[in-house]
């Protein structure tokens, strides 16, 4: 795996947890294992690793759940955003690509744990594309935009976490 010196940031949906990395590894992939499916609530987890020595938590700390004796998974306790998969012995943290401020920067290079891949996975690129939200539900999109509690896709010097329950 090749180490690439670069600046990367990301975090959870509500902004309570943010991170910054000064290097990334060239291991972007889609993991289809059942643990990743459950942890992401999706049919795969899109992951890319940062070396542990290059990763810092810049706002808040993720909550951690040990999904096995070798793996812990991090998430925001406030909004529930899955943030990472961390193997306790390999010196890297696989960040959820969707939690990055620029998820376009890491196109997956491989599918892993494909024995758990859903049977219809290879068909998803051919399904109907209904276009942008604004084109299919302008009123709904405007209502969401007007009441959006989501943190922007960039670092902020301060951020009041909104949308918390009590």
Reported as a pLDDT band with limits 50, 70 and 90, residue 162 is: confident
Q: pLDDT (tens digit, 9 = 90+) per residue, 125-137?
A: 999 988 887 777 7
Domain-wise residue ranges, the chain: 3-119+133-146
Instruction: Assign domain 3-119+133-146 to its CATH architecture.
Output: Beta Complex (2.170)
Do 96 and 46 meet the contact criterion of CB atoms below 8 Å apart?
yes
Q: Is the pLDDT of residue 164 over 90?
A: no
Q: pLDDT (tens digit, 9 = 90+) per residue, 15-62?
A: 999 999 999 999 999 999 999 999 999 999 999 999 999 999 999 999
Closest to 164 measured CA to CA, from 61, 14, 62:
14
Reported as a pLDDT band with limits 50, 70 and 90, residue 166 is: very low
Higher per-residue pLDDT: 89 or 133:
89
Closest to 72 measured CA to CA, from 81, 63, 80:
63
Rounded CA separation 129/141 (Å): 17
């Amino acid at each position: 795996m090749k180490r690439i010196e670069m600046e990367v940031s990301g975090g959870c949906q509500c902004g309570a947890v943010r991170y910054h990395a000064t290097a990334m590894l060239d291991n972007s992939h889609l993991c289809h294992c059942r643990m990743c499916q459950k942890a992401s609530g999706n049919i795969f987890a899109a992951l890319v690793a940062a070396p542990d020595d290059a990763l810092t938590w810049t706002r808040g700390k993720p909550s951690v759940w040990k999904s096995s004796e070798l793996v812990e998974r991090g998430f925001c306790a406030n909004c529930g955003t899955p943030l990472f998969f961390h193997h306790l012995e390999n010196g890297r943290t696989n960040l959820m690509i969707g939690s990055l401020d620029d998820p376009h920067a890491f196109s997956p290079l491989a599918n892993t744990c494909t024995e758990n891949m859903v049977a219809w996975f290879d068909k998803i690129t051919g399904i109907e594309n209904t276009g942008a939200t604004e084109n299919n539900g302008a009123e709904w999109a405007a209502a969401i935009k007007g009441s959006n509690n989501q943190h922007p896709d960039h670092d902020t010097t301060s951020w009041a976490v909104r949308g918390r329950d009590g």
